[in-house]
Amino acid sequence: MIFSLALFGALALVTPLLTKWLGRRVFAVIALLPAAVFVLLLTWMPGVLAGTPVVEIVPWIPTLDIALSFRLDALALLLALIVTGVGALVLLYCMHYFADDEPALGRFAALLLAFAGVMFGLVTADDVFILFTFWEATSVLSYLLIGHYTGRKESRGAALQALTVTTFGGLAMLVGLVILAVDGGTTSLSELVAHPVTGAAGEWAIALVLLGAISKSALVPFHFWLPAAMAAPTPVSAYLHAAAMVKAGVYLVARLAPGYADLDVWHPIVIGLGALTMLVGGWRALRQYDLKLLLAYGTVSQLGFLVMVTGFGTRDAALAGVTLLLAHALFKATLFLVVGIVDHAAGTRDWRKLSGVGRRMPVIATIGIVAAASMAGVPPLLGFVAKEAVFSAFLEAVAAGDGWAWVSLIAAFAGSVLTVAYSVRFVWGAFYSKKDVADCALHAPSPAIAVAPGLLAAASLVAAFAIPFIEPLLAAYADELPGSHDYHLALWHGLEPALAISAVVFALGALLVWGRQRVARLQAAVAPVLDSARGYLGIVSVVDRVAATVTTTIQSRGLPGYLAIIVAVFIGGLGTLSILNTSWPSEIRLWDYPAQPFLAFVMAVAAIAAATVRQRMTAVLLVSVTGYGLVLLFGMSGAPDLALTQALVETIVLVVFVLVLRRLPKQIAQRNPPVHKLARGIIGALAGIVMGVLGLVALGARIEPTIAEGLPALAIEAHGKNIVNVMLVDIRAWDTLGEISVLVAVATGVASLIFVSGRTGGAPRLDHVEGLVNRRDRLRPVPEPAWSIRAPRTSLADTAGETDAAGEAAETRQTWLLAGRTISPRNRSILIEVLVRLLFHPAIIVSVFLLFVGHNAPGGGFAGGLLAGLALVARYLAGGRYELGEAAPVDAGRLLGTGLLLAAGTAAGSLLFGGPVFESAWFETEVPLLGTISIGTSTLFDIGVYLVVVGLVLDILRSLGGEVDRQEERQTADDGDGDFTTGDGEGAAYREGVEHADGAEYSGGARLPNPEEARR
């Protein structure tokens, strides 16, 4: 079974491709699979009937006791035969129903085949959660199939209604199944039926599961989605909404009946709603002009009938129920397929416009009449056999004094009268020549289209005579229920009460047909009372409106408004809780050491000042005060790693901030503050107070000893003395792996936002600047004018147009940096150049040192990477973007990728040796200067962290630094010469140089549109 299911899935996946190649003939190919499964099931039948179900189990989630378990017993076999048999025929029918140019034919074929597989899985699944998964999958596939005509409003509306209703029921069912599984201690459906869950839990669980079943099988009050679903193509209606999917609810009722039919909630739901549905559906079917809707309401009626009979709870009723199930699948699928043919041929299925169809399409008409007769219960067809069995079963129960039997009997009787009447209406409407209607134009379909409905109709007839051979399969299930095994299915039982009832049913049905006009008037008068579709529409529209109102009210004021509401909820919720709280810390110290309050005071003042100043740069500097304050706080209270990292990060943040802010206006604009200033202050103050109280409460609420006591031992075990670092790279390495993944994402995001396209690569290199081809020249600091790089000059003395003496002096000065001459002479500082030149390499060495000693002393990958990043920051600040490119001549993305790969590789590497993820291994060695170090997998991991951090800083610098520079220069150049003090010739040469460099740097990459150009 599992193999068959996998085949269904695989074939469905390739079906769209096959369709491209085969067109509509693909249906013939994919129909082979359900047909093959049908045959396979037949070969299993003897074993199943002998009492040994076919069972397949593959463990899936052992901790939740969920397994891919499938069990094919008699009931499952019957359903599976219907699903695969009707499925194969419907697929075959599709080949003639659709044209090759049908839009989305591949998708349709794949979905229909997938549905067949899912439905097969549903009826054979033994694990309740696997059953539920298939259950919901049928809902989703049904949604997609109903909505096949995506452009039609009614298709979309119908699809969504079906999905909403069945999913609602499905969720209720899931809750019920969870209760059953937990209370029953097993997820096996067969076990749960054999050993039923009783008591209140059982009642609730079954009520919820039945809610799912009745929503799926379109019982009142959920019946309205099924007629709406007729917006689907006819094969879908025939298969999903007649033979297969809607039977899922009936199947579940039949499946549970042996164990749960005597619960208190069972009969009111199953019989009460079943009887009501049967009458409501039949009543409305009698009113329809649209043949397909007539069948849809008829299906609703029959589904109510089926649920009522199969859920009745006696052996005879169950036998009648499964017989009816088989009969209904055969005749209703046939009828839908016939309507599809008529619709195709005549272009309408409104019987007011149909006339003379039967005369000109006799084969189709015969098939339709046979199926309709089976629906009405006319002998000698399977429908008659089933209905006889139903009446006999109910009569017997009435005789036994069962109260519900009366309800069932009367409903079955009245419903059958309606069924006869609408069956006649169908046949007459579809096939007969109406006097006042002109014969409609028919374009005859290929005769082959009649094969599928013909076979199904023939089955209705043959099965009635072959009933002794079919009975063992049906009885094998029914015998699980209480009751004598005397009753046997047969076409002729002799003159008995059930036959009399059938006769009366036919008579009354004929009366209804004869009194057609009076019935129609009556129907028009009372119909709206039973219309729950309007209720659904009302509920949906109210929900829509409430959702829209709530959303637009809460989220209407932009980011500040959102945040204000979020913070207000935080204050209201956690504030209330902290007022009610009783666990306060046992002891409160004013401070840990005397310097603490002083530091805290400075930081607090800086924070409040940052909240009030209007200048961006000042605010940023004030925030930095709090950041550097943290460095001191951490450093003075036993957290050297934090102090080191915080100091490095704070510096980089400050620089990056300045890099961006230099481009923004100095003053922070203020216009219509969305949250009033005072209100902002109050919200902020309250949030701060709540947070403070929370901090105290959190400290006071802690009763268990910290797990820190075990950490030193773990650290030693991991060959490290610095516990914080060991935690990062070993004990909690998963966390760190997640974090560096975030960093990679952030770096990519930053680059993507700044470089509009083509964000890969490193910072620009000098090689790309013309006039500096000789590698040796780059390494030798020589006195040479800065402009020579941008605009080659004939000689050193050629300074025509240069008027700025200081600029000239700077220009010819010796440079200390590789790309020092690429920046404007006036922006160069000899002091900085010298410092950076002297400090860069030591800083890199120290960063590597930090990386390797991190395991035993303050440092590690983060600190090392940040220090290396800071060194790059210095190079960039002193020498500009080309200097950055020379300092780190690598692609930032490669650094990030290598780092992440190294870290993840270390994590996964241990798997190759059979260990768990992140298992560590070491070797110790003596290294001069560094002392004894253990090089292990965690060291490799830390190197990965180091590379990611360096890559992040490099990406930030080349984006927010280099690229922003380039955009600014370009804009300035475009703005004209006003900003330059140099003469026209120089200015032009400069621009040329810049543009040239640009072209080389980012070949093929689009740039941010220049605002100046855009404005023009």
> Do β-strands 66-72 and 931-936 pair in parallel, antiparallel, or remain unpaired?
unpaired
At its nearest, how many Å lie between other proteins and the CB of residue 26? Answer: 29
**Which DSSP string do the residues of 291-334 spell out, in sequence order?**
HHHHHHHHHHHHHHHHHHHHTS-SHHHHHHHHHHHHHHHHHHHH
C-alpha 938/C-alpha 304 separation (Å) is 66
Nearest CB to other proteins, comparing residues 485 and 545: 545
At its nearest, how many Å lie between other proteins and the CB of residue 604? Answer: 4
Nearest CB to other proteins, comparing residues 542 and 830: 542
C-alpha 395/C-alpha 913 separation (Å) is 72
Nearest CB to other proteins, comparing residues 620 and 832: 620
913 Ramachandran zone, left/alpha/beta (phi>0; psi -120 to 50): alpha
Nearest CB to other proteins, comparing residues 692 and 889: 692
At its nearest, how many Å lie between other proteins and the CB of residue 678? Answer: 10
At its nearest, how many Å lie between other proteins and the CB of residue 89? Answer: 27
C-alpha 874/C-alpha 851 separation (Å) is 20
Residue 133 burial (10 A CB sphere; 0-12, 13-18, 19+):
middle
Output the six-digit token pair for 242. 């007649």
At its nearest, how many Å lie between other proteins and the CB of residue 65? Answer: 35
Nearest CB to other proteins, comparing residues 443 and 1015: 1015
C-alpha 593/C-alpha 612 separation (Å) is 30
At its nearest, how many Å lie between other proteins and the CB of residue 846? Answer: 18
Residue 120: partners with Cβ closer than 8 Å, 6 or more residues away: 1, 4, 5, 8, 34, 37, 80, 83, 84
C-alpha 782/C-alpha 812 separation (Å) is 9
Nearest CB to other proteins, comparing residues 339 and 819: 339
Nearest CB to other proteins, comparing residues 728 and 763: 728
At its nearest, how many Å lie between other proteins and the CB of residue 920? Answer: 17
At its nearest, how many Å lie between other proteins and the CB of residue 665? Answer: 6
In this structure, how many other beta carbons lie within 10 angstroms of the beta carbon of residue 811? Answer: 21
CA 704, 705, 707, 713 torsion-angle sign:
negative
**Which DSSP string do the residues of 161-173 spell out, in sequence order?**
HHHHHHHHHHHHH
926: part of which helix (H) or strand (E)?
strand 922-927
Specify whether the CB–CB gap between 149 and 98 falls below 8 A. Answer: no
- Identity of the amino acid at 35: A
Nearest CB to other proteins, comparing residues 630 and 877: 630
Nearest CB to other proteins, comparing residues 257 and 642: 642
At its nearest, how many Å lie between other proteins and the CB of residue 80? Answer: 32
Helix (H, G, I), strand (E, B) or coil at 735: helix
C-alpha 76/C-alpha 124 separation (Å) is 6
- Identity of the amino acid at 869: G
- Name the CA radius of gyration of the chain, rounded: 40
Nearest CB to other proteins, comparing residues 119 and 294: 294
Among 653, 591, 596, which residue's Cα sits nearest to residue 629? 596
Specify whether the CB–CB gap between 456 and 337 falls below 8 A. Answer: yes
Specify whether the CB–CB gap between 41 and 124 falls below 8 A. Answer: no
Nearest CB to other proteins, comparing residues 448 and 611: 611
At its nearest, how many Å lie between other proteins and the CB of residue 280? Answer: 14
Nearest CB to other proteins, comparing residues 29 and 675: 675
At its nearest, how many Å lie between other proteins and the CB of residue 512? Answer: 11
Output the six-digit token pair for 500. 């009399």
Nearest CB to other proteins, comparing residues 527 and 908: 527
In this structure, how many other beta carbons lie within 10 angstroms of the beta carbon of residue 726? Answer: 27
At its nearest, how many Å lie between other proteins and the CB of residue 192? Answer: 38
Q: What is the DSSP letter of 861?
A: H
With b for 16 or more beta-carbon neighbours within 10 A and e for fewer, the 744-759 pattern comes to beebbebbeebbeeeb
At its nearest, how many Å lie between other proteins and the CB of residue 216? Answer: 19
Nearest CB to other proteins, comparing residues 404 and 426: 426
At its nearest, how many Å lie between other proteins and the CB of residue 220? Answer: 16
C-alpha 214/C-alpha 208 separation (Å) is 10
